[in-house]
Amino acid sequence: MGKILILVGIVLVIAGSILEFAPNVPLGRLPGDIRIEREKFSFYFPITTCVLISLVLMLLGYLWNKIR
C-alpha cells in the first residue's frame, strides 16, 4: 500500500508541475468538450479531457502490472 501511495504522490507532483509551468497545456479546453452557455446558465462537461485522462491512467495501470 505504501508503494502505491508513493507512486500516486509522484504522479500528482509531476501533473501539478506540468500544469504550473506549462500554462498553455489545453487540458479542460480540448475539442469535443461540451460547453453550453446561455443568459443565466452555463454547463461545461470536459468529456474529451476525461477520456484522455482515463486512457493515460489505464496505460499507467497496465505498465504497473507488467512491471510488478
Residues of the chain with pLDDT under 70: 25-28
Residue 33: the pLDDT is: 87
Torsion, Cα of 10, 11, 13, 17 (10° steps)? 140
Residue 58: the pLDDT is: 93
Residue 27: the pLDDT is: 67
Domain of 17, in residue numbers: 2-67
Backbone angles phi, psi at 32, to 5 degrees: 105, -15
Residue 37: the pLDDT is: 92
| Domain count for the chain | 1
Q: Report d(CA 2, CA 6) in Å as an integer.
A: 6
